[in-house]
């Protein structure tokens, strides 16, 4: 077998190419979409607590802005490459387009290990980053948000720094802010909640009783822990979860809230009483109705996919499945709700946050959740319809819905002939 493609940039290009071809769109659409419009790499000097200076590398990639300002998270991570950030920004374009949001796609990253930085060092790094990218971001240009290992506090420092530079408050610069600073109710839970809505929609169409489902969650951060809790509230049984330090399994299921409390106390889900340890690959191959990858890219490789025994995969992470794995899952009859749909709840409530910042009028959590549910269900239906009528996988269908919207916007703007 040919070597598996693990570079997310090449994976994203292939996904776009497939949709453009299937839709019969002109080559120019692919030529425009196969790379970002703009990528900025910055060096950020930070005075560490011991007085020494360390220079960090950061990126911001803006893929396409045909539908509106670019939008997407900012991650703090030890291993992140320019190609990865580019791919993540490409996926954001299509994620926003599938949901019908008036945004293009962007993504940023800083190469660092946030767990090794003090609060003050993190603050200096965050302020330094936004100063260095300030020319290309802004409420009408590019709007960052939380992603892997970033949080509302980091958003707040960046908004503060940018507001000082512009000499006026600019809350619409970032989303995922603390509530007191123009954050939206429901934003912190939105990615997990949106994923669960798509899983419910899939269960309904496949005739699976969600209240009896066995659920496995890979990753116990903001997306995974909320998805586990909400699935549990629906009556489903959470049988295995993990994080970067280890995994836990119990065929009888466990309470995800107690697991979260254990993680807050000990730093990991590992060692939760009444469960047995389980490795990542074994966890991904457990027999279950619903598997939710909620960690990083390339977790479900061809090797893993051959042993996946889930009926439904709801991709709460960005890019968790390789191209080769995708083909294998399709052959095995696994129903995959692709990342650009299943993980779109976060950016959807980010959009609500940005709208609320613009209006200076704020909605209740119930209103936000209600609006999120409507948008997730509507988008799921559009993708499912494409999947059925064109007889393509859910992933290909999602890219087709998204690419056709972006292409239409590019056409009316005069970017195509």
Choose between 176 and 247: whose C-beta lies nearer to ligand GLU: 176
Q: Is 107 a catalytic residue?
A: yes
Q: Shortest approach of ligand GLU to residue 287 CB, angstroms?
A: 29
Choose between 84 and 147: whose C-beta lies nearer to ligand GLU: 147
Q: Shortest approach of ligand GLU to residue 139 CB, angstroms?
A: 13
Choose between 58 and 73: whose C-beta lies nearer to ligand GLU: 73
Choose between 210 and 403: whose C-beta lies nearer to ligand GLU: 403
Choose between 95 and 127: whose C-beta lies nearer to ligand GLU: 95
CA nearest 91: which of 2, 151, 19, 174? 19
Q: Shortest approach of ligand GLU to residue 318 CB, angstroms?
A: 5
Choose between 192 and 346: whose C-beta lies nearer to ligand GLU: 346
Q: Shortest approach of ligand GLU to residue 9 CB, angstroms?
A: 16
CA–CA dist 278, 222 (Å, integer): 21
Q: Shortest approach of ligand GLU to residue 95 CB, angstroms?
A: 6
The answer to whether residues 56 and 125 touch, using CB atoms and an 8 Å cutoff, is: yes
φ, ψ of residue 350 to 5 degrees: the values are -60, -40
CA nearest 5: which of 295, 398, 338, 301? 301
SS3 readout for the chain: CCCCCCCHHHHHHHHHHHHHHHHCCCHHHHHHHCCCCEEEEEEEEEECCCCCEEEEEEEEEEEECCCCCEEEEEEEECCCCHHHHHHHHHHHHHHHHHHCCCCEEEEEEEECCHHHCCHHHHHHHHHHHHHHHCCCCECCCEEEEECCCCCHHHHHHHHHHHHHHHCCCCHHHCCCCCHHHCCCCCCCCHHHHHHHHHHHHHHHHHCCCHHHCEEEEECCCHHHHHHHHHHHHCCCEEEEEEECCEEEECCCCCCHHHHHHHHHHHCCCCCCCCCEECCHHHHHCCEEEEEEECCCCCCECHHHHCCCEEEEEECCCCCCECHHHHHHHHHCCCEEECHHHHCCHHHHHHHHHHHHHHHCCCCCHHHHHHHHHHHHHHHHHHHHHHHHHCCCCHHHHHHHHHHHHHHHHHHHCCCCC
CA–CA dist 74, 347 (Å, integer): 12
Catalytic residue among 71, 86, 95, 107: 107
Choose between 104 and 256: whose C-beta lies nearer to ligand GLU: 104
Q: Shortest approach of ligand GLU to residue 262 CB, angstroms?
A: 26
Give the binding site for ligand GLU (CB under 6 A): 71-73, 95, 145, 147, 175-176, 318, 343, 346-347, 350
- Residue nearest ligand GLU by beta-carbon distance: 73
Q: Shortest approach of ligand GLU to residue 172 CB, angstroms?
A: 12
Choose between 288 and 340: whose C-beta lies nearer to ligand GLU: 340
Specify the residue for token string 């990528």.
39
Q: Shortest approach of ligand GLU to residue 304 CB, angstroms?
A: 22
Which amino acids are annotated catalytic?
Answer: 107
């Amino acid at each position: 077998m040919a070597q598996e493609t693990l570079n997310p940039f090449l994976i994203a290009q292939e996904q776009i190419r497939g949709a453009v071809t299937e839709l019969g769109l002109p080559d120019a659409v692919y030529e425009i979409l196969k790379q970002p419009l703009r990528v900025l790499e910055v060096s950020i000097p930070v005075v560490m607590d011991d007085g020494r200076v360390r220079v960090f590398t950061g990126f911001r990639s803006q893929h396409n802005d045909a539908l509106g300002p670019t939008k997407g998270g900012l991650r703090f991570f030890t291993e992140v490459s320019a190609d990865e950030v580019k791919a993540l920004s490409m996926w954001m374009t299509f994620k926003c387009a599938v949901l019908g949001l008036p945004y293009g796609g962007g993504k940023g990253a800083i190469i660092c290990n946030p767990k090794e930085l003090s609060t003050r060092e993190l603050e200096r790094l965050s302020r330094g980053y936004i100063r260095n990218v300030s020319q290309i971001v802004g409420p009408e240009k590019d709007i960052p948000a939380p992603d892997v290992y970033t949080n509302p506090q980091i958003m707040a420092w960046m908004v503060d720094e940018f507001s000082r530079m512009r000499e006026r408050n600019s809350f619409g610069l970032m989303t995922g802010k603390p509530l007191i600073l123009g954050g939206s109710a429901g934003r912190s839970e939105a990615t997990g909640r949106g994923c669960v809505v798509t899983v419910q929609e899939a269960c309904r169409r496949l005739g699976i009783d969600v209240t009896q489902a066995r659920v496995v969650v890979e990753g116990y951060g903001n997306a995974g822990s909320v998805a586990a809790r909400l699935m549990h509230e629906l009556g489903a049984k959470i049988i295995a979860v993990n994080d970067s330090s280890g995994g836990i399994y119990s065929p009888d299921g466990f309470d995800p809230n107690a697991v979260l409390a254990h993680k807050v106390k000990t730093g990991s889900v590992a060692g939760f009483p009444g469960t047995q340890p389980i490795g990542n690959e074994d966890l991904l191959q457990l027999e279950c109705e619903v598997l939710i990858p909620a960690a990083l890219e390339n977790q479900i490789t061809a090797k893993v996919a051959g042993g996946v025994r889930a009926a439904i995969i709801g991709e709460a992470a960005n890019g968790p499945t390789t191209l080769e794995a995708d083909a294998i899952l399709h052959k095995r009859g696994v129903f995959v709700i692709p990342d650009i749909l299943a993980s779109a709840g976060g950016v959807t409530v980010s959009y609500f946050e940005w709208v609320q910042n613009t209006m200076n009028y704020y909605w209740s959590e119930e209103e936000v959740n209600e609006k999120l549910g409507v948008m997730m269900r509507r988008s799921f239906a559009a993708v499912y319809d494409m999947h059925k009528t064109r007889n393509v996988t859910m992933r290909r269908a999602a890219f087709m819905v998204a690419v056709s919207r972006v292409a239409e916007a590019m056409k009316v703007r005069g970017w195509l002939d």
